Amino acid sequence: MPGYSWTGSAWKKVLRKTMWTGTAWKDIKSSHRWTGSAWETIYSSFSVVSMTKNGDQQLAASTWTEVASWTAGSNTTVTGNALRVNGSGNATIQVGSEWPTSASVKDWRVLKNGTVVWTKGSGTGLTLADTFALAVVDGDLLTCEAWNSSGVAGNRIVKTGANTYLRVVPV
């Protein structure tokens, strides 16, 4: 919801949430109010970020491989093959992967700043879709890695499109 400020002659839309510290303007990351029993968020700069796989990717057999070539969602930054978190706090991570065949065992994992934070096997299914909770801070980089046991190259393809994604949703 946009904010407005009275200039003395007209209402002006506030483009950024800032405050004067006495020496400089600082961006406000969030604001809260006490309801009498809990803190309620009034404003938060923590926003949803997402990326979707762009182009099929061939994997090596039985080797964890970084999933590459992503398209950034709205108001999202993708750095290399990593999704950049925009804000700090508790988040729900939504992850999905699509495969061309159910003929092999597949695994998927998410890394935060290079450290594995979640791993899931899709078994022999064609798709994997799951969520998990994760505390993040502004600027964290999330990447995906995939693993496939098939000896057949055509079975080791991570599919492009809407079913292969990574999203960070503030809680």
Question: Up-side HSE of residue 142: CA atoms within 13 Å toward CB?
Answer: 30
pLDDT tens-place string over residues 127-155: 888 999 999 999 999 999 999 888 888 88
**Cα–Cα nearest to 131, from 148, 108, 114:** 108
Owner of token pair 């980089």: 141
Short-list 160, 143, 129, CA closest to 56: 160
pTM of the model: 0.76
Closest Cα partner for 122 from 142, 148, 144? 148
- Residues contacting residue 7 through CB under 8 Å, at least 6 positions apart: none
pLDDT in tens, 95-118: 999 988 877 778 999 999 999 999
pLDDT attached to residue 105: 79
Kindly tell me if the per-residue pLDDT of 34 is higher than 70. yes
